[in-house]
Amino acid sequence: MTRRVAIIGTGWVGTSVAMATLQAGVADELWLHDARSAVAEGEAMDLAHGAAFYPPCLVRAEPDLAALRACDVVVVAAGRNGKPGESRLDLLRDNARLVADIGRTLASGFGGIVVLVTNPVDVLTQVMTEASGLPPARVLGTGTMLDTARLRQMLGAQLRLDTHSIHAQVVGEHGDSEVVLWSGARVGGMPLRQWHGWDAATLEPRIALDVRRAAYEVIQRKGATNHAIGLVTASLLGTLLRGERRLLTVSRLQTGAAGLSGVALSLPTVVSAAGGSEVIEPAMDEAERAALTHSAEVLRAAIGTLAG
């Protein structure tokens, strides 16, 4: 079976997603769509010229948005980027209109999965779910996958350990109200808080702040974040297209897990060929549970501004 992936939006993020996807070898065909059709064509040509250096994949531009219904996964990376000093929620109104239009176009006859990358990703995941009418399991945002990766990288640097030895998660909003689950963090199977030399009172607030501010720091220096999210998205695509059944902190419209419904945010979710079909309630202490509830309230308020 031919595995087709479409990417809507060929700016910094979309092209990083495309490059990472090609190098990961998870797709047989990669379709690029952009409102600037010449840019999509140019990116497709440029990527295709490197075919000798990645696993076989046909790369082409597709100017007709409706044609993307033939793809297994449609990645939405369209929309404007954040500006220095701007929160992800400041992007809301402009990008919500665009995502809703895409969702309505895909609504008829689309049997695949939509992956949202555009920020604010949680709110736009909900907008896409409602506009397209697709089941929540088939509309996923990259959510806190990137925040979780940043957390693990920073913990690895602090502990002088390989990132793969660290198991820790960020849940909730991909943004300022995100929640680091310190109580469940593990290093080689040992609770992080039992690790020799770990000073929770000092290190946990500092690292949580660094994770939360990571995107702002990158945007201040280069104007956008693109490479890490490209790698994150390619990894998510591999899980979907290979049916790997991995637990990932993706965003989706919640329907009862952790007592949350009617809001899209990240919780550990079983991701497979069917999408994000099973949401797992992680172990949380009282402070983490309260913070997750607050994160949901922040996102509900953001969604509420669209109705006003």
276 is in an annotated binding site: no
100 exposed, middle or buried (CB, 10 Å; 0-12, 13-18, 19+)? middle
Report the alpha-carbon distance of residue 300 to residue 308 in Å, rounded.
13
81 is in an annotated binding site: no
Q: 115: which strand partners?
A: 75, 140
Exactly one of 174, 196, 227, 294 is catalytic; name it: 174
Burial pattern 157-189, b for ≥16 Cβ within 10 A else e, equals ebbeeeeeebebbbbbbbbebbbbbbebbebee
List Cβ neighbours of 231 (8 Å cut-off, separation of 6 or more).
20
298 is in an annotated binding site: no
34 is in an annotated binding site: yes
95 is in an annotated binding site: yes
- Contacts of 193-200 with C-beta under 8 Å, sequence gap 24+, read 195/159
225 is in an annotated binding site: no
Kindly give the residue spans of alpha helices, DSSP state H, lying in 107-251.
121-132, 145-159, 200-222, 227-242
Q: 170: which strand partners?
A: 180
119 is in an annotated binding site: yes
Q: Catalytic residue at 33?
A: no
Q: Which residues participate in catalysis according to the annotation? A: 174
Q: Which residues are annotated as a binding site for NAD(+)?
A: 9-14, 34, 95, 117-119
